Chain A
């Protein structure tokens, strides 16, 4: 059994035997699992399926993963990402490098639940349940030898699976080096900055860092250690393309334009002062809570909300 397997099973056995935490153990073990998965080396086909209401989105990608990076190939293009860098070679080659000294916050709201040993694709694996209080938020099938997450299921607030990410044709080694053309792709370097506009905490998600965005906008990246999203606060006079085929998301606060994909969700709305775009891989119930805290469509600006909080 690998170090990952031993640490999770020993931790679980200890906790259950001594009644330290029942049934969940600690968030630290979940961080270990995520760290090992991040550092895993493998080549596979990754299929991602998400259910948004009655709409199902599916995508498959050829993925090469290594410590600190990932190469994703689709029919027409490839993308290399990792450590704040993203280089794409598609119709328009482009590169972004975000300079930040900050990392994802510690996991606080999730704990490891039941852990069992299973066989998955003829490989020894651990089946790990991730709990958010009493709610099962995710199930992970973790390869014992490489630490890669072979299968993950994420659940919505009603306990139904809303996203499945599975690896097939899994090989625990690399097949391709990074593309040589990478060095010829122009890269835009973006330094982190500060914001008086974006709050430090949004419905249990902590702000990791703020960056200047295109057209004078601001990008705030939020994470709870497991899921993450970005909020872009954009000038009212800027046109935002890509929502032509959006669906309407109606909440008590108003009307939002939503484009759900297999991997993430994109939301657009505007209040009196600004346009907002949210992009992230968050569960639907988290999304609903986050939108409740952010300025509602057509209502007061975030600045006014904070002003009122501070000065009444």
Chain B
């Protein structure tokens, strides 16, 4: 009896790992064989899939603010937009953004100001700034969001004042491959099925 329970427990773990895609080739063959022959295993597999689906569809509850380790994100928002967070930091920031409307609004403002800046006519930076470009890139990650926002607004004002007088900035260029990738990413919410196959 104990042995049977052990085998069942092992099978459950294997099926779970199968859904996670982390099986070795040998284990994968074992699971495929079991799923081809054992009706109970197939039933168990479907039950496991259903359970996972149910968990995914569960409503997200707001975390009480007093349980959160810190109140709001600051400099991490800049790094988040720049894709400069580490693999460990990204899920923490994403989870906070899901539960915190205030940080989402700050992030959206920050993103909008950056987009506005990017849309402005290009102005060539003076040569002396090039010398410090690398240093600035490294330091940028630690600029607090509020300072970044203020800088963004200032940059917009300066660019609107100086932009019209700047000697013909370069025309911005967009590639169709970029637009296609953006469409494919958005279309994968939920993921595309074969009939509307949008992967580039």
Contact = CB atoms under 8 A, between A and B. Distances in A.
Interface string A69-93: 1101000000101111110100000
**Is the contact region of chain A dominated by helix, strand, or loop, or is it mixed?**
strand
Contacts of B179: 213-214, 219, 230, 232, 240, 266, 277, 279
A212 B116 CA distance: 10
Interface in B135-190: 171-190
Contacts of B111: 189-191, 212
A138 B18 CA distance: 33
A67 B108 CA distance: 29
Interface residues of A, number: 90
A229 B194 contact: no
Contacts of A272: none
B53 interface: yes
Given A38-B193, A212-B115, A229-B183, A263 B174 contact: no
A190 B107 CA distance: 10
B188 A82 contact: yes
A238 B112 contact: no
B55 to A, nearest CB: 12
Contacts of A104: 189-190
Contacts of B28: 173-174
A227 B107 CA distance: 31
B83 to A, nearest CB: 4
Contacts of B177: 242
A67 B19 CA distance: 9
B99 interface: no
A69 B193 CA distance: 10
Nearest to A213: B182
A68 B190 contact: yes
A216 B118 contact: yes
A98 B187 CA distance: 10
B13 interface: no
A216 B119 contact: yes
A228 B191 CA distance: 12
B83 A189 contact: yes
Given A84-B185, A230-B183, A277-B179, A61 B172 contact: no
Contacts of B174: 213-215, 217, 234, 238-241
B59 interface: no
B108 to A, nearest CB: 5
Interface of B: 18-19, 21-22, 28, 31-32, 35, 49, 52-53, 80-81, 83-84, 87, 97, 104, 107-108, 111-112, 115-116, 118-119, 171-200
30 contacts: A38-B193, A39-B49, A41-B19, A61-B199, A66-B21, A67-B19, A69-B191, A81-B191, A83-B190, A84-B185, A84-B189, A95-B83, A103-B190, A174-B21, A189-B81, A189-B83, A189-B111, A191-B104, A191-B107, A213-B174, A213-B182, A219-B186, A223-B187, A229-B183, A230-B179, A240-B173, A263-B197, A263-B200, A264-B183, A279-B180
Closest 7 CB pairs of A and B: A216-B119, A242-B176, A86-B185, A230-B183, A186-B83, A215-B172, A37-B193
Given A34-B195, A189-B81, A263-B199, 15 more contacts: A46-B197, A79-B184, A81-B188, A85-B188, A96-B181, A140-B195, A189-B83, A213-B174, A215-B174, A219-B183, A240-B173, A263-B197, A263-B198, A263-B200, A266-B176
